[in-house]
């Protein structure tokens, strides 16, 4: 928990949605259903990234650029996953791709990068 309510709430929903996507993939979701979930998450994450980026600018966060670079990396992962599902449908390899790319990125980003930013914002807000 970062201590900034908006960020914590958004992170919670993102983690919940990833869990739902993984469960759906494991239980034989079709590509359409999976794509719908990926697109929802991509849009929601985009909203979340923009919120963070706006606050980093507003409060002159010194590590803004490296943080935004990481967001860009995640946008790329969403594109990769979307392409993967469009090309191959949904199967056990979808779960591997989602885990390897998205889950690994998110956990590390939330635990390290966002926490550092939230600590700064808490003092500035
Ligand atoms: Fe972030």
* pLDDT at 82 (0 to 100): 92
Distance 110 CA to ligand 1 centre (A): 7
Could you tell me where the beta strands, DSSP code E, fall in 13-99? none
pTM score, whole prediction: 0.88
Distance 118 CA to ligand 1 centre (A): 9
Radius of gyration of the chain (CA): 15
pLDDT, tens digit (0-9, with 9 covering 90-100), for 61-99: 999 999 999 999 999 999 999 999 999 889 888 888 899
Q: How many domains does the chain have?
A: 1
* pLDDT at 122 (0 to 100): 93
Distance 88 CA to ligand 1 centre (A): 30
Tell me, what CATH number does 46's domain have?
1.20.120.50
> Cβ distance 14 to 48 under 8 Å?
yes
Distance 27 CA to ligand 1 centre (A): 30
pLDDT, tens digit (0-9, with 9 covering 90-100), for 25-57: 888 888 999 999 999 999 999 999 999 999 999
Measured CA distances, 57 to 65, 117, 122 (Å): 10, 11, 14
Distance 49 CA to ligand 1 centre (A): 6
Residue carrying structure tokens 């201590």: 3
Name the residues around ion ligand 1, CB cutoff 5 A.
52, 114
Distance 30 CA to ligand 1 centre (A): 30
* pLDDT at 70 (0 to 100): 97
Domain residue limits at 19:
5-124
Distance 80 CA to ligand 1 centre (A): 19
Mean of pLDDT values over 12-29: 90
């Amino acid at each position: 928990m970062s201590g900034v309510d908006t960020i914590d709430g958004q992170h919670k929903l993102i983690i919940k949605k990833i869990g739902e996507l993984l469960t759906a993939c494991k239980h034989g979701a079709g590509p359409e259903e999976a794509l719908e979930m990926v697109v929802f998450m991509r849009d929601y994450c985009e909203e979340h990234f923009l919120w963070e980026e706006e606050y980093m600018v507003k409060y002159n966060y010194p590590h803004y650029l490296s943080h935004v670079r990481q967001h860009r990396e995640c946008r790329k992962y969403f594109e990769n996953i979307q392409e993967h599902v469009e090309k191959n449908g949904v199967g056990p390899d979808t779960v591997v791709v989602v885990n390897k790319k998205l889950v690994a990125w998110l956990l590390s980003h939330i635990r390290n990068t966002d926490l550092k930013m939230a600590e700064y914002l808490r003092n500035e807000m």
